């Protein structure tokens, strides 16, 4: 199996904290510049959980991928994620003033800066992945990120979400699952499989893990929208419920949604069995995703 022989298990909290500080330090090194555009880009990346970057670093560690290459890919996915949030917060999309407890980019600067910061975060992600240190599988990684984030991935999920707001009938469970797989699941899947891709290894176990994790993440997000505390979540809650949007909670009910998230978490953990105890931090990440309060 693909797990590197020397990969050791580490507790999730420690691994996540380490990932956050390494990705932040890498961002500061790779994204210098004193002009407002660079400042807005750094601001957009900062303050999140960096779960996607963590998934990249852990999957890279499991496959013995070089640290410098892994960090480049981890920063790249955080750039794409940050761009999506900056654009999602714009008045023409979800129109949010707060993100991670701070003013959104268009509130702190203006709308033009938010559009431009999002645009350049996206292109910067691909610049990072085109760095020679990514190695011989760079093109697979780049094509995968373009597919996961673009017209058949995250952007199409966002488009389906916007279309659902004006649809005459609410979406059903299959439609919501398809929408969320695209909007959130594709980037999570790219992140969790990035290490295997960079190593040229079998990505199937991590893809199974990510498919379950991505859906569990989204169900947890819908539960947070109903039960969450805005101060902890760092953004407005109950927006979906107030807008009458179909969500996993509205379709399944709160208890069944929690049961489904738990089952998916167990499926995600089971998918990692080929890696043995070396994948403990990824298993803990799945447990965290369904119990998080932000």
Give the residues lining the site for ligand GRG (CB under 6 A): 48-49, 51, 81, 84-85, 87-88, 93, 100, 154-155, 158, 183-184, 221
Smallest gap, in angstroms, from Cβ of residue 187 to ligand GRG? 7
State the nearest-atom distance from the C-beta of 133 to ligand GRG, in Å.
25
By beta-carbon proximity to ligand GRG, the closer residue of 59 and 184 is 184
- Report the residue number, 81 or 106, with the smaller CB distance to ligand GRG: 81
Q: What are phi and psi of 102, to 5 degrees?
A: -120, 160
User: Of the two residues 2 and 154, which places its CB atom closer to ligand GRG in the complex?
Assistant: 154
For CA atoms 158, 161, 166, 169, the dihedral sign is positive
Residue 111 near residue 91, CB atoms below 8 Å? yes
Instruction: Dig out the tokens for 250 from the structure.
Output: 């509205």
Which single residue brings its beta carbon nearest to ligand GRG? 48
2: DSSP letter: -
Q: Are 273 and 200 in contact (CB under 8 A)?
A: no
Calculate Rg over the CA atoms of the chain.
18
Dihedral (CA of 165, 167, 168, 169) sign: negative
Nearest distance from residue 26's CB to ligand GRG, in Å?
Answer: 16
Q: 257 near 248, Cβ under 8 Å?
A: yes
Residue 233 near residue 294, CB atoms below 8 Å: yes
The Cα–Cα gap between 273 and 243 comes to 41
For ligand GRG, which is the closer residue by CB, 72 or 221?
A: 221
Token output for 30: 């790779």
Q: How far is the CB of 97 from ligand GRG (least distance, A)?
A: 14
Q: Min. distance of Cβ 278 from ligand GRG in angstroms? A: 24
How many residues does this entry show for the chain?
A: 294
Least distance (Å) between residue 207 CB and ligand GRG: 19
Please identify, using beta-carbon distances, which residue of 63 and 87 lies nearer to ligand GRG.
87
In the bound state with ligand GRG, the residue whose beta carbon lies nearer, of 201 and 216, is 216
């Amino acid at each position: 199996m693909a797990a590197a022989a020397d990969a050791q298990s580490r507790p999730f909290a420690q691994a996540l904290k380490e990932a956050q500080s390494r990705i932040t330090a890498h961002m500061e090194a790779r994204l210098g510049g004193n002009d407002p555009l660079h400042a807005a880009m750094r601001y957009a990346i900062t303050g999140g959980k960096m779960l996607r970057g963590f998934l990249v670093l852990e999957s890279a560690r499991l496959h013995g991928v070089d640290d410098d290459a892994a960090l480049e890919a981890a920063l790249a996915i955080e750039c794409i994620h940050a761009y999506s949030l900056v654009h999602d917060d714009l008045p023409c999309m979800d129109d949010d003033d707060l993100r991670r407890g701070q003013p959104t980019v268009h509130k702190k600067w203006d709308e033009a800066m938010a559009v431009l910061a999002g645009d350049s975060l996206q292109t910067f992600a691909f610049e990072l992945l085109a760095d020679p240190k990514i190695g011989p599988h760079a093109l697979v990684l780049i094509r995968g990120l373009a597919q996961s984030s673009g017209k058949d991935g995250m952007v199409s999920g966002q488009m389906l979400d916007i279309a659902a707001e004006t649809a005459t009938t609410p979406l059903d469970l299959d439609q919501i699952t398809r929408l969320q797989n695209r909007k959130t699941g594709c980037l999570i899947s790219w992140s969790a499989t990035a290490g295997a891709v960079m190593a040229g290894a079998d990505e199937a176990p991590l893809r199974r893990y990510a498919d379950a994790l991505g859906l569990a993440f989204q169900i947890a997000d819908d539960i947070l929208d109903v039960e969450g505390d805005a101060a902890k979540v760092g953004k407005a809650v109950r927006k979906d419920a107030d807008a009458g949007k179909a969500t996993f909670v509205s379709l399944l009910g709160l208890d069944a949604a929690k049961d489904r998230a738990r089952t998916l978490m167990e499926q995600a953990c089971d998918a990692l069995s080929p890696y043995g105890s070396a994948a403990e931090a990824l298993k803990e990440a799945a447990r965290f995703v369904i119990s998080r309060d932000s």
